Amino acid sequence: MTDDPHALFTAWAAEARASELNDSNAMALATTTADHQPSVRMVLLKGHDERGFVWYTNLESRKAGELLATNKAGLLFHWKSLRRQVRIDGLVSRVSDEEGDAYFATRSRDSQLGAWASEQSRPLDSRETFESRYEEMRARFENGDVPRPPHWSGFRLDPQRIEFWEDGAHRLHSRRLFTRTEGGWDEGLLYP
């Protein structure tokens, strides 16, 4: 057993990639509104290291607005095939422009064009409107690379708490909690 929560997450995520049928990097992202209303949705983890957990989105979306207003979020990974989950709470900041550009360049061209065409989280009068905007972007960038839109980037959650949960027979689950300290991490157990 490791006493490094990042190493443990890396090991569990590798096992999930081998056992989960779809999107082993899917995570529930929980935010709150200014009036403390919880808001949760699924997003995809695109990077993880000792600095934190990274995902990307439209900066004008509801989730981005909530993240920018509070600088806090919670993440949940649930790997049903392994009967495990990981809960992470922490502080959120934007990734650098260089990181955003580098990741955007790895996306498919259609996804890049979609990022330009979408006014994410805003009302849409019809699917045809969105498809028309997509076609406009396709024509606009027809003869070259698609740059990252200024309204699109990523966020990094710097974890302050990481809980590893494993299913146990008769609901006698195992829960390990890592809490950030100035010198590293404190580790403890939680009752199931």
Residue showing tokens 């260089």:
98
The residue annotated as part of the active site, out of 94, 127, 138, 171, is 171
Phi/psi at 60 (5° precision): -100, 5
For residues 117 and 69, give the distance between their C-alpha atoms in angstroms, rounded to a whole number.
25
For residues 13 and 3, give the distance between their C-alpha atoms in angstroms, rounded to a whole number.
16
CB half-sphere exposure, 23, CA atoms < 13 A: 9
- For residue 87, indicate whether it is catalytic: no
Q: Which residues are marked as active site?
A: 171
